[in-house]
Amino acid sequence: MKALSEPLSPFVPWSSEDRTPLKEVEASGPTGQPLLVDLLRDPAAVTERLLDPQRVQAVVLGSVGIIAACTSFFAAAATVARGKDAWWGSAGLTSLNVLMSLAASLGPIYATSILLAARVPLARLVAALLASAATGSLLLAGLASPLYLLTRLNSEWAGPLMLTSAFLLAGGAAGARVHRLLSLMAEQVTRKALGDSAATLSGEDAFRVGILARISWMVLAFTLALGFWAFNALG
């Protein structure tokens, strides 16, 4: 791989440290990542946070904040794109709607985990669900610009189609993230319990964790859809 560099003005005298490859400058940075970056990039790091009793509360609070901020931003962009000025109503209603749907879906998911003989401790389940919902809402905020663009271009077809596909994409990513977080968490706990750092989940356990992940995705999608239908937050 060639050394990363950037074009420099030949009229200005540059010292040798200005000419070192960029990769070395970057590598000397701090290693600890903020929660926001971990949520997007690194499920394993999020799992470590979930399993650490001192850090799990920060994950919960941070995720709630991220969900509220990102869904409000998305709703505000969608409202402004349609030429309405009163964006704060829909912004507040959307984040409230998502948080209420998350709260409503917790009970059924916990019950499912008991039925499946794969009970997740409630605090960790809450944190895992919130973390994956936060990943989804971060992506939703990222999709605000195409939504804005397409709604401006054509608010009858392109805008609503983009709105739907933004929710589908963010929902898909959040579902994949729930699956990954639950599997990683089960694996870590099993490893610690067995004292074997190379242990993996048995096929049967992985199967039940997979069912739990899919059911949580489904229940959450159901409550979210109900919430958006009832409150008409983006209408």
Partner 1 sequence: MGSASLVAAVDRPNLIDSLLRLLDRPARSALELARRPLSATLAPAALGIFLVAAASALAGCISLSGIRLVPRLDVLRAVFESLLVVIPGTTVFAIYLRLRIPARAFLAATALGLLAAGVVATCVLPLMGFIAIVAVKSRTEVPIPLLFVPGLALATVAALSARVIVSLDASRAARWLSRALVFFLGAVFVLRINSALLNIHTWLW
> Contact positions toward partner 1, by CB under 8 A?
1-2, 4-6, 8-9, 12-16, 18, 22, 25-26, 29-30, 34, 36-37, 40-41, 73, 77, 80, 138-139, 141-146, 148-149, 152-153, 173
CA separation for the pair 182, 197 (Å, rounded)? 18
CA separation for the pair 156, 52 (Å, rounded)? 48
Instruction: Pick between residue 118 and residue 141 the one whose CB is nearest to partner 1.
Output: 141
CA separation for the pair 63, 137 (Å, rounded)? 10
Report which of 59, 228, 207, 55 is spatially closest to residue 132, judged by C-alpha positions: 59
Instruction: Output the six-digit token pair for 144.
Output: 């605000």
Contact indicator for 39, 134 with CB cutoff of 8 Å: yes
Instruction: Pick between residue 140 and residue 215 the one whose CB is nearest to partner 1.
Output: 140
Instruction: Pick between residue 69 and residue 206 the one whose CB is nearest to partner 1.
Output: 69
H/E stretch holding 138: helix 122-142
Report which of 42, 47, 57, 39 is spatially closest to residue 139, judged by C-alpha positions: 39
Instruction: Pick between residue 18 and residue 196 the one whose CB is nearest to partner 1.
Output: 18
Least gap, CB of 46 to partner 1 (angstroms): 13
Instruction: Pick between residue 109 and residue 163 the one whose CB is nearest to partner 1.
Output: 163
Contacts of 188 (CB under 8 A, 6+ apart): 47, 48, 51
Contact indicator for 18, 35 with CB cutoff of 8 Å: no
